[in-house]
Structure 1
Amino acid sequence: MVASEPGVDYAPLFYKDLEHEKDKKLQMYKGRFDQTIKLSDNGKEIIYKWIDFLPSAQKPIIRSAPSIILYSDSSKKGGGGVNSTNNTDTQGFWDESEKEEHINILELKAAILTIQALAADVSNAHVRIYMDNTVAISYINKFGGKSVIMHKLAKDIWWWCKDRNIWLSAAHIPGKDNCEADKLSRQVNEDMEWKLNPEYFKMLEQKYDQSLYPENNSGQSGNSIADCSIMADAGMVQRTVTTNLCSIIHSTKTSNTNTASRSNKTASHSEDAAGCFRIVREQLKDKGLSEDTVQIILQSWKKSTAKQYGSYFRKWLLFSSSKNIDTFNPSSVKVLEFLTELFNQGLGYSAINTAKSAISSTCNLINNRDIGNEMIIKRFMRGLFTIRPALPKYDHIWDVNKVLQYISSLPNCTEMTLLQLSQKLTTLFMLLSGQRCQTIHLLKLSDLHICKEQVVCQVSELVKQSKPGLHVKPMQIRRYSADPKLCLVNTSEYYLTVTSKVRGSEHKLFISTVKPFKAVTKSTISRWVKQLMKESGIDVDKFGVHSCRAASTSAAAVKGVQLDSIMKAAGWSSAKTFALYYNKTIEKSYSDVILSGT
């Protein structure tokens, strides 16, 4: 097992426990290697797992750069974590017994909870977590160690990562630079930490129907912030805009562990996943609307928009509650006070504009109050833009020919690994369709229609620009006989043939390149495209995967494609969108332009 580690990911996860058993027995037999050792039940189980795992095991020669960046920290009060990739955070408080544990153990627990809360929907990715505790870092990177408690914690998180094909790496960050996670680990909301006397609760159970307590019968708010809303939702507790605001905000359950997890990332489209929108639901129901009607109205926020709004709407709820402000009909002065507070925290124009939109959107829904269009708010945003402008990420774009020439230099599809084939096909889709990574990720097998001359892709799910009467047009990409290696139709046909042998009942077009060959996430597709861009010589530190859309449409414009054709292909309803955000000068030297005419 040890000898196989250079070619097998997660190998230490299997042999570390066996090494511990060996060391324990050697100590018992005073170092005599000629003694027979009987494996424990755990050791036998590991051997069986190893036998099942080994045939599909592999390990990359060069590990890809992390696609998810996390930070975690712990204090004697609790633990905190931050996902800097998507600007989400989580925090929790230790119970009394945990507070007595060594700080090294608490640091490792905080890291585990951060990973499980903020990377819950991640798979097929490299996750990097930064910590200021070198012992906890060592236990993660070495798959365990001598401490029984910390070894078990490290092993648990690695099994969790393995099941999701996540490679985890831990790195050090000085404590003075780990400010956000440290702050979250020390913030304690006393209102959320309470427990009924168990004896009195039993008396209540006997006297009243237990249905009054729909989610818990322990009489305790739980050791988690997530559990604090249970009593606030009981019928005998009055619910108003402000009375139980904190419980509404933190009602989302994200963990069954005994420590809390409050993650902005868990805020999503549905009310169950976005506790911060529960108050909106209650306000709509107070207007006399039925549950079904309210549910339909709440779906008016797209999932991505709800995630963006969730974080800032939660902050607004806390702000308005602490200052006794009417959440859905505040004065302009109070809104500006809140936005200024965000500004003083270092947020830029884009983030504060999102916060303003979250407030305006909900106030407009409940009280027909369009805060975003009030003159004083508009003036504030203009001033903010002057101080902290949100300028375009880049004013020029890379040349698609660099990537296409690199793809053309690659071996034929029949000689590629499944990973290389997946990278090639997703990149061709991005460049030849002008679509977002989200759209490519949503493609299903039933969306593809390949005929003799072309492939037609009709996206059957809603995308960002979908609205009543407008949906992304079918992608029509013709065969390219001039260079078969650049032909998306040929590549698609071969990809379907190869994956048909392993995909089983999976209906999504793009699947993982290792077992169990399930549908990949958008971040996986993004990572595939980014890797091929990097190999092609594109500066991926400067240009992200979304730049493919600008590179593709800009190249089409330079080559004389009509504007309406570009707009149709990319799914834009306004030429202004292309002109402002996507039509960039292609990065070429003077000599390149001269030589291109030869």
Structure 2
Amino acid sequence: MGGIKSQACNAMAKEIWEWCIPRDIFVTAQYIPGILNVIADTKSRKFNDQIEWELDRAVFQKLCCRGNLQRQWLFSRDYQHLIIIMARINQKTILHILYVNKWLEFSHQRQINSMQTTVVNILDFLTALYPTLGYSALNTAKAALSSFVTLKDGTPLGTHPLICKFMKGVFNLKPPAPRYNTTWDVKPVLNLIRKQSPVESLNLRDLTLKTCMLVARQQTLHLLNIDTMQVTTSSVNFKINELLKQNRPGKPTGCYLNIKKYLPDPNICVYTALVEYIDRTKDLRNGEEYLFISYKKPYKRVSTDTIARWIKCEMQIAGIDVTQFKPHSTRSAAVSKVKRSMLPVSDILQHVGWNSEKTFRSYYDKPIREDGCNFALALMKE
């Protein structure tokens, strides 16, 4: 029947068989579909990213094949550190994994140690990337290597004088430019949302897209959980216990999201749409605890990419140029509009969770494009 390495489980299995055999009872394992095994299936799907990590398989294979990783080193302290580091990188951004793969390929071709090397090899690698990458991408590649590569002279990779001078040279030759010099006007989107009313008459797809657009923050939407939700007659409150991109070691994780009822115009009220969405989906969830689920079967939790597609779809219907503006631009459009309503910058920073006014000025405070939107005008025309 097979076995496992757990002595406790083997002892329990042995005890069960010793009881069954004298009684002519034969025990077999049988598959039960998740839909019939709801409690166990739900528990097995719960993921806690504070304790559950996995080394990216592609990186591990490259380490084994190209990084001279010997079997007896697998559980050495250095490689345990690498596994933990790679797991954190994989959780944070896929771009790091991309440049780690490129570095391992480069190391294999040059027949050099991928874990400990010289500054000359690092500069050769960054120079090879330079023709096709800008300053920001090269800086990401440098950060990926800094997390696990050490230099033979003992200097930290990220602060080595030659690497710092190289990056300054790249900055001068290819200065980074913001993705957007302007942002879009939120009026066409608000007009579209007003037309998608009342919420009780919308099908599940349109209700889902409207609710996502009104909240319009991909990472936060992906993490909203109905188990930590409190609904009152005037607000919906969420406690987000998972890691956000702005979280740092030594600081409390998670945050609170408070969505209040907007009385002046119920047609664009986030609270109204959200309460209707919660009520509409409660019988479709089958134990799914995350707020946003697919509007088609099997009604499971959606990814950040799906949420981004939903937001992009609403933007496109409203006439926003989605070839230029991505779903993440909703934040810039919203705060730029609010600033022009003469709300103090300090209030904006407090509401959106920014610590520095420089962040707002550099990345989000943009001139609003005033050009007309023929599609939106035609759509809203009576």
Q: TM-score surpassing 0.5?
A: yes
Q: Measure how far apart 1:569 and its partner are.
A: 3.0
Q: Measure how far apart 1:470 and its partner are.
A: 4.4
**Corresponding residue for 2:92?**
304
Q: 1:465 aligns with which of 246, 250, 254?
A: 246
Amino acid at match of 1:270: E
The separation in 1 between residues aligned to 2:247 and 2:74, in whole angstroms, is: 25
User: Relative to structure 1, is the Cα distance of residues 348 and 280 closer, same or farther in structure 2, using a 3 angstrom cutoff?
Assistant: farther
Q: Could you list the per-position Cα deviations for residues 352-393 of structure 1 after superposition, in whole angstroms to 9, with x for gaps in the alignment?
A: 222111112212599964222222212222222333333111
Amino acid at match of 1:428: L
Say whether residues 1:580 and 2:378 are aligned partners.
no
Q: Could you list the per-position Cα deviations for residues 56-84 of structure 1 after superposition, in whole angstroms to 9, with x for gaps in the alignment?
A: xxxxxxxxxxxxxxxxxxxxxxxxxxxxx
User: Relative to structure 1, is the Cα distance of residues 294 and 364 closer, same or farther in structure 2, using a 3 angstrom cutoff?
Assistant: closer
Alignment of 1:57-456 (within 5 A): 270-271=54-55, 273=57, 274-275=59-60, 276=62, 285-287=75-77, 299-301=87-89, 303-305=91-93, 307-344=94-131, 346-363=132-149, 369-430=155-216, 436-456=217-237
The separation in 2 between residues aligned to 1:281 and 1:565, in whole angstroms, is: 53
Q: Could you list the per-position Cα deviations for residues 426-483 of structure 1 after superposition, in whole angstroms to 9, with x for gaps in the alignment?
A: 01011xxxxx311211111123222122122221211111123144531222111111
User: Do the aligned partners of 1:465 and 1:572 also contact (CA within 8 Å) in 2?
Assistant: no
The separation in 1 between residues aligned to 2:341 and 2:278, in whole angstroms, is: 32
TM-score, length of structure 1 as denominator length: 0.48
Q: Measure how far apart 1:337 and its partner are.
A: 0.9
**Corresponding residue for 1:56?**
none
**Corresponding residue for 1:544?**
326
User: Do the aligned partners of 1:328 and 1:367 also contact (CA within 8 Å) in 2?
Assistant: no
User: Do the aligned partners of 1:465 and 1:471 also contact (CA within 8 Å) in 2?
Assistant: no
Amino acid at match of 1:308: L
Q: Measure how far apart 1:528 and its partner are.
A: 0.9
Q: 1:532 aligns with which of 307, 314, 317?
A: 314
Q: Measure how far apart 1:396 and its partner are.
A: 1.1
User: Relative to structure 1, is the Cα distance of residues 513 and 394 closer, same or farther in structure 2, using a 3 angstrom cutoff?
Assistant: same
The separation in 2 between residues aligned to 1:566 and 1:280, in whole angstroms, is: 52
**Corresponding residue for 1:555?**
337
Amino acid at match of 2:54: S
The separation in 2 between residues aligned to 1:501 and 1:281, in whole angstroms, is: 51
The separation in 2 between residues aligned to 1:352 and 1:493, in whole angstroms, is: 45
**Corresponding residue for 2:380?**
none
The separation in 2 between residues aligned to 1:281 and 1:549, in whole angstroms, is: 45
User: Do the aligned partners of 1:426 and 1:528 also contact (CA within 8 Å) in 2?
Assistant: yes
The separation in 2 between residues aligned to 1:501 and 1:331, in whole angstroms, is: 60
The separation in 2 between residues aligned to 1:280 and 1:454, in whole angstroms, is: 57
User: Relative to structure 1, is the Cα distance of residues 471 and 577 closer, same or farther in structure 2, using a 3 angstrom cutoff?
Assistant: farther
* 3-state SS in 1 of match to 2:349: helix
* 3-state SS in 2 of match to 1:586: coil
User: Do the aligned partners of 1:280 and 1:362 also contact (CA within 8 Å) in 2?
Assistant: no
User: Do the aligned partners of 2:56 and 2:90 also contact (CA within 8 Å) in 1?
Assistant: no
The separation in 1 between residues aligned to 2:150 and 2:348, in whole angstroms, is: 35
The separation in 2 between residues aligned to 1:281 and 1:409, in whole angstroms, is: 60
The separation in 1 between residues aligned to 2:68 and 2:220, in whole angstroms, is: 30
The separation in 2 between residues aligned to 1:500 and 1:329, in whole angstroms, is: 54
User: Do the aligned partners of 2:85 and 2:147 also contact (CA within 8 Å) in 1?
Assistant: no
Q: Measure how far apart 1:301 and its partner are.
A: 3.4
Unmatched tracts of structure 1, length 5 or more: 1-267, 431-435, 591-598
User: Do the aligned partners of 1:450 and 1:489 also contact (CA within 8 Å) in 2?
Assistant: no
* 3-state SS in 1 of match to 2:123: helix
Alignment of 1:484-495 (within 5 A): 484-495=266-277
Q: Measure how far apart 1:589 and its partner are.
A: 6.2
The separation in 1 between residues aligned to 2:63 and 2:291, in whole angstroms, is: 33
User: Relative to structure 1, is the Cα distance of residues 328 and 364 closer, same or farther in structure 2, using a 3 angstrom cutoff?
Assistant: same
The separation in 2 between residues aligned to 1:310 and 1:532, in whole angstroms, is: 32
* 3-state SS in 2 of match to 1:530: helix
* 3-state SS in 1 of match to 2:258: strand
User: Relative to structure 1, is the Cα distance of residues 388 and 298 closer, same or farther in structure 2, using a 3 angstrom cutoff?
Assistant: closer
User: Do the aligned partners of 2:96 and 2:144 also contact (CA within 8 Å) in 1?
Assistant: yes
The separation in 2 between residues aligned to 1:281 and 1:575, in whole angstroms, is: 46
User: Relative to structure 1, is the Cα distance of residues 510 and 476 closer, same or farther in structure 2, using a 3 angstrom cutoff?
Assistant: same
Q: RMSD of the TM alignment (CA)? A: 3.1
Q: Measure how far apart 1:587 and its partner are.
A: 2.1
The separation in 2 between residues aligned to 1:302 and 1:333, in whole angstroms, is: 27
Q: Percent identity between the aligned chains? A: 33
The separation in 2 between residues aligned to 1:309 and 1:316, in whole angstroms, is: 11
The separation in 1 between residues aligned to 2:332 and 2:56, in whole angstroms, is: 37
User: Relative to structure 1, is the Cα distance of residues 368 and 472 closer, same or farther in structure 2, using a 3 angstrom cutoff?
Assistant: farther
The separation in 1 between residues aligned to 2:82 and 2:171, in whole angstroms, is: 36
User: Do the aligned partners of 2:89 and 2:96 also contact (CA within 8 Å) in 1?
Assistant: no
User: Do the aligned partners of 1:473 and 1:569 also contact (CA within 8 Å) in 2?
Assistant: no
User: Relative to structure 1, is the Cα distance of residues 269 and 543 closer, same or farther in structure 2, using a 3 angstrom cutoff?
Assistant: farther
User: Do the aligned partners of 1:343 and 1:352 also contact (CA within 8 Å) in 2?
Assistant: yes
